[in-house]
Amino acid sequence: MDMWQSLGFTRSPYDTSPLRSRADDVELLVGRDSEAVELYTVLESNPQGVLVLSGVPGVGKTSFFNVHQYLLESGLSSFGPQLLAARKLCPVQPGDAARDIALRALSALIYSVQELCSMRGDALPSETAKIQKWLLRRALNTSH
């Protein structure tokens, strides 16, 4: 047992990598209760559109969002919509074509569905499997 585990931590509190969308990381996010209520209220009252979470680097935006994705997906949040947590980033760079961004987002969505099905021991939905095959064929055709 290392020093941090002996003090009750699951990992070093000096680890700067973002928390992930999983149960083990929920206890590591401290505070931000008013921001969570605001997030849940916005998501529940406006199911369409784009939500921008912003702030200076290093304040915990990704950790905050990942933990709350988990809580909303698992139904453990106090209120708010149920959603599918994004388990893969979909980076957008200046100069990206809209089609490339859309394909990257679709690929990330398929990955998130696969991971959720794997965690729950469920089969991949047939329509999701069809889209996955289409993406794989497309990737193989464009790589040649």
Please give the pLDDT value at position 37. Answer: 92
Distance of CA 136 to the CA centre of its chain: 22
Categorize the per-residue pLDDT at 108 as very low, low, confident or very high, splitting at 50, 70 and 90: very high
Over residues 22-35, mean pLDDT: 85
Check pLDDT > 80 for residue 134: yes
Categorize the per-residue pLDDT at 50 as very low, low, confident or very high, splitting at 50, 70 and 90: confident
CA atoms within a 13 Å half-sphere pointing along the CA-CB vector of 37: 3
Q: Please state, rounded to an integer, the average pLDDT across all residues of the chain.
A: 86
Which of 6-10, 57-61, 100-104 tops mean pLDDT? 100-104
39 Cβ contact partners less than 8 Å away, ≥ 6 residues apart: 51, 53, 68, 80
Structure tokens at 31: 């505070």
Alpha carbon distances (Å) from 27 to 9, 66, 133: 9, 12, 38
